[in-house]
Chains A and B, each alone.
Chain A
Amino acid sequence: DQQVKQNSPSLSVQEGRISILNCDYTNSMFDYFLWYKKYPAEGPTFLISISSIKDKNEDGRFTVFLNKSAKHLSLHIVPSQPGDSAVYFCAASAFQGAQKLVFGQGTRLTINP
């Protein structure tokens, strides 16, 4: 049973517009969430994280929103740039197993010029 789900395998967005990537989780013990970005032939690169005591965290063009009651988080990228084209992974961990990251399947984002 997958505890972290990214239901959209792919997303296509026009350059300059907002990209919204979604992630759902089932384990109510998760209290720390991360987004990673992966280019082909490279390992995942950390983008942004959020603790469950917050509902929003912003870093430049990237904002992560957390809705604990819905067990849902989203990553907003605005404005989207061609270099943002990559696979994005959502990950979660629980304090009790803080180093055990559980990953979603990933969403392939394509930014069109």
Chain B
Amino acid sequence: ETGVTQTPRHLVMGMTNKKSLKCEQHLGHNAMYWYKQSAKKPLELMFVYNFKEQTENNSVPSRFSPECPNSSHLFLHLHTLQPEDSALYLCASSQTGPNNEQFFGPGTRLTVL
């Protein structure tokens, strides 16, 4: 595997379900990110992790819970989501520090019924 991978690619869940999204990067980076892209909206940054520590939470509701066990893996735990949370969730990684391009995974298309 190369680059940034995400599983599952598609997920349909009910509002009472608990599910997790997984991201893995094979680029040797130390920073990882979660983004959300809703229909007809720009990508929105959700969380940033540097060296496994969360350094940014962009006012994300607590029903989204990230976890970063090591620099290569990032999870997004989902519980009691709302239909408006349906979106494309993208993971990215980069070197830490400024002016480093972020490399994106293919995303998970989430539908909340």
* Known A43-B105, A49-B99: A99·B43 in contact at CB below 8 Å: no
Instruction: Please tell me the size bucket of the interface on B.
Output: 20 to 34
Q: Report which of B4, B45, B106, B107 forms a contact with A101, defined as CB distance below 8 A.
A: B45
- The answer to whether B106 and A2 have CB atoms under 8 Å apart is no
- The answer to whether A43 and B4 have CB atoms under 8 Å apart is yes
Tell me the chain A residues, 85-105 only, with Cβ under 8 Å from chain B. Answer: 89, 91, 93, 95, 98-105
A-B contact pairs, 27 of them (CB 8 A): A32-B98, A32-B99, A34-B101, A36-B104, A42-B106, A43-B107, A44-B104, A45-B104, A46-B101, A46-B102, A49-B99, A49-B101, A51-B99, A89-B42, A93-B99, A95-B98, A98-B97, A98-B100, A99-B50, A99-B94, A99-B96, A99-B98, A99-B100, A100-B45, A100-B48, A100-B58, A105-B42
Binding site for A on B (CB under 8 A): 4, 6, 31, 33, 40-45, 48, 50, 55-56, 58, 90, 92, 94, 96-107
